[in-house]
Chain A
Amino acid sequence: MEIKDELKLFDIDFINHLTQEAGNQIDYWDIRATISNGTSIDFTDQKSTEISSYEITNCGIRTFANGGVGFYVLNDLNKDLIRTSFLKSIKLAKLTESLSKHKFKIKEVDPINKNFKIKSKRKLVDVDIEEKILLVKNHEKLASNYSKKVKNTHTIYMDGVKSYVFINSFGSNIYQDLSYLRLLNIVYSQKGGVIQRSINSVGGLGGFEILSTEKAENLSVKTAQESIELLEAKSPVGGKFTIIADPKLAGTLIHEAFGHACEADLILSKESILEGKIGQKVAFDDINVVDNPSMGQGSKFGLPYELFGCYFVDDEGIPSQKTVLIENGVFKNYLHNLETSSRMNIPPNGHGRASTSSSKPQVRMGFTYIEPKDWNVDEMIQDTKNGILCEDFLYGYTNPTTGNFQFKCKFSYKIKNGEKQELMRDVALSGMILEVLKKISAIGDENTFGFSSGICGKGGQSVRVSDGGPYIRIDNITVGGLN
């Protein structure tokens, strides 16, 4: 694999030199450097509002000294600057250590010396800007012409390629060529005084082929159709209901309402309600939840690219792997980065992720999902007397300390005597982490399994994530509404 010229400076001699400089002063260091190039195209009402291109260099040097962490961020790559910044980072770590109460050492893991490359059928750099614009224009046109009720369309195309070097004091030296793309479509429709909007996106790791799947091609038509359907939707009545969540909502629910509380940094800082709960029953007997961001899963969904939330190695050089969070209702594992696994004395599981090389890795999810079981979705609805079928979500969040969470659903259908009825909008769901998973009463089969992808924020950083599951039914959920 061809290494980008500017990143070649991390050669053996230079790494050896840094190792010598560090000596016994610190117990671990790593350096990440990336060169990113990308395009973004922004259209509103079939007109370009922004067409842009960038090239950005980032570098972050992190050092650990017995519980003190130093991090030095720079924009330029040259040996002298990196060397002096490395020394400054060591100084920061040692100063921090002198004031830190919690002493620990990063436990050594086997080094990885490997290159990784995202495969793409049509490399992003080989597609010229005119073709990318044409695609966006086409989506805008399809959405605008969908109906007279469509008042406003907005399409954002973003792509990026990244050359990424990771080296650390364990002897890892990893070079990656990454490539991602995301297309986001928003449509506003209006009827009388009512305005409704819908948002959909397609994203993945790969090349321009990401946009040639059927789902991607139908993106803007689907969005337009949804925003128009929502015009006729009714506002919900608040109260307690049985809900059936579709794979997108079930995925977000498991991500927000459970996944975040599994992040071991929040466990150590006593901010998670799941502290000390490993081995305990936290959910319905039949449920299994995992986080598996390893590559090669796109094909399972018939996609010619990798899922947006997946990766080869995390941003601390640990290979992505399957981690069981809940097995038969029992809580099994936390998600770890190098620090939390070292402190809890177990092997890391590849969840140290950073949004860029100039941000520090935090404990983050990758692809979190509920495993399918045996319910047929039609039977699940028929078996529900009074309830709400909730499809897709607008957003969700949770407070891991109190365990209280909240979601907004995109589409919600009333279920009466086992029949799907009228559409409702802006249905808000709320509950408590430790209660909700025990209220699950049915889990759908493999045929109902699906996922969605997006961006998740934590501590000011955004990373790519995916989550999913089958249809699931949850009893006795609090639903908020305007009436």
Chain B
Amino acid sequence: MDNTTDIFELANYGIKIAEKKAPNFKCAEIFFGKNEYTNIELEENSIKYSEIGSDHGVSIRIYNRRGSLGFAFTNKFNKKIIEKIIKIAIKMMNAGTADPNFQNLPLKYKTYPNVKKLYDTSIETLTIEESIEYVKDLIKICKNDNLAISQSGDFTSSSNISYVFNSNDIEVFEKETVFSISSNIIVKNKSTGETSNGFESQIKRKLKDINGTNTAIEALKNAKRNLNRIKIKSKKMPVILSPKGTINLILNPIASAINAELFQYKRSFLVDKREKVIGSEYLTLEDNALIDGAVGSSNFDGEGVPCMNKKIINKGFFLKSGLLHNSYTAGKEGVESTGNGSRRSFSSVPSIGISNFVMQTGTSSIEEMIKDVKEGIFLNTTGDSANIATGDFSGLISQGNLIKDGEIKQALNETMFGINLLDLFKNIDAVSKDSRFYGPFKAPYVRIKDVQIIGAKS
């Protein structure tokens, strides 16, 4: 798979065979994906491990007029293999059940958006030695700190190219780059022996935007903030979510809940809530695939449908058009696909996923938001996730601190909390003016009033 023309030729050949060989043929799609990456890992605050690899493959999706889908994939490329996997896909299709809800694969589009800065050419000349320099920045921060005793982390650069072809004349391809760096720093309170960790990461399209020093500084800050942990008593109090906490408790659950597939199966707590107020006026959200250089941006989705910017929630009001569709769910509902057919690699059929999921910022500074709290919780992360069918959340504060008289105090151990997300959305009473991008999520600090905290202290 070195030559672009070969791919086009192979794809057209494959589509033709599928049309010819599949009984009761409706449509077919061929997807090629290729990923090349370099990964440098850090352990015990020392460079430890270097990996170079590639992963490429081809898959075929084929439907008959009954709407039955056959799917097959492999990671080899040549005409013979293509013929073989098409034969297998047809066998799978013939064995499947009819689906009257299936309409068609996407039809040809005249225009596509022109999102910029998805590919950074500097990856073409990036050497292992240069990659290691980013990891060295991480090492320095940990080495120069008295409390830090160890760090693991990594730097990864990857370039992806994907091609979508279908029998309705869709023929698109796109190149993109992703660079990421992460740091997990361990700190130890030497007098008490207590240990704690702090994690931070960056994912960027552009190599120059990766900053190892800042990543490690932030991880170290999180780790130190998580020392001197105490158990607290159960009580109702306000909670301030860090951008990571906002992703855990607001953005991620909403991203799942507005997935049209979940909606159609009535498995989302937001079913029947469209065109209704579901949160406070501080809750405004969009899924925007068109931000130049953003990690979640794209010109077309995993099915070749043009991407766009969709408003989801406006000042607490959940918009009628606020669902994310791929071509299947859109066809079932009789609307246009929103270009959210997401594909993790050639080995999966398109599901539904976000592009850049952005929560609108507010006017307060984070300092002001904390200052206003007499007694509350600063929640950095939780490892739990809400039940999307019911909206119920109950879980552990993995990293969080007590706020007392407007200041962040001791970290928390064994502290849990529970709330229904609809109550959480309604109880948002402040949003920071600053926000952070973590991968495809852009999140501010958010304050929520009256959250039931369950402490381990009796």
Contacts and interface: CB of A to CB of B under 8 A. Distances in A.
A51 B93 contact: yes
Contacts of B188: 270
Interface in B76-95: 76, 85, 88-89, 91-93, 95
Nearest to B56: A75
Nearest to A406: B396
Contact of B150 (A48, A76, A270): A270
B282 to A, nearest CB: 23
B53 A48 contact: no
A50 B396 contact: no
Contacts of B267: 152, 188, 195, 197
A388 interface: no
A198 to B, nearest CB: 12
Given A53-B72, A96-B47, A432-B414, A240 B458 contact: yes
Contacts of A69: 48-50
Majority secondary structure of chain A interface residues (helix, strand, loop or mixed): strand
B389 A51 contact: no
B413 A268 contact: no
B265 A44 contact: yes
B126 interface: no
A90 to B, nearest CB: 11
Contacts of B91: 53, 129
Contacts of A70: 49-51
Interface in A36-51: 43-51
Nearest to B73: A54
B406 interface: no
A399 B197 contact: yes
Contact of B50 (A44, A71, A265): A71
A235 B393 CA distance: 12
A50 B89 CA distance: 11
Contacts of B419: 482
Contacts, number: 239
Given A67-B48, A478-B456, A47 B73 contact: no
B96 A102 contact: no
Contacts of B413: 402, 404, 432
A268 B44 contact: yes
A403 to B, nearest CB: 9
Interface in A101-145: 101-102, 129-130, 133, 137
Contacts of A88: 52
Interface residues of A, number: 77
Contact of B49 (A71, A197, A478): A71
B410 to A, nearest CB: 13
Interface string B41-59: 0011111111111111100
B234 interface: yes
A71 B53 CA distance: 8
Contact of A358 (B53, B85, B184, B394): B53
Given A96-B40, A100-B48, 16 more contacts: A44-B265, A48-B99, A70-B49, A71-B51, A73-B53, A101-B45, A102-B43, A238-B416, A268-B44, A269-B186, A397-B383, A404-B398, A428-B384, A428-B418, A478-B454, A483-B418
Interface of B: 40, 43-57, 68-76, 85, 88-89, 91-93, 95-99, 128-129, 132, 136, 149-150, 152, 184, 186, 188, 195-197, 226, 229, 234, 265-267, 347, 349, 383-384, 387, 389-390, 392, 394-396, 398, 413-414, 416-420, 452, 454-456, 458
22 contacts: A43-B97, A45-B265, A46-B97, A52-B71, A52-B89, A52-B349, A56-B73, A70-B49, A92-B51, A96-B47, A96-B50, A137-B97, A196-B389, A238-B452, A240-B458, A270-B188, A397-B383, A404-B396, A404-B413, A428-B418, A430-B416, A479-B454
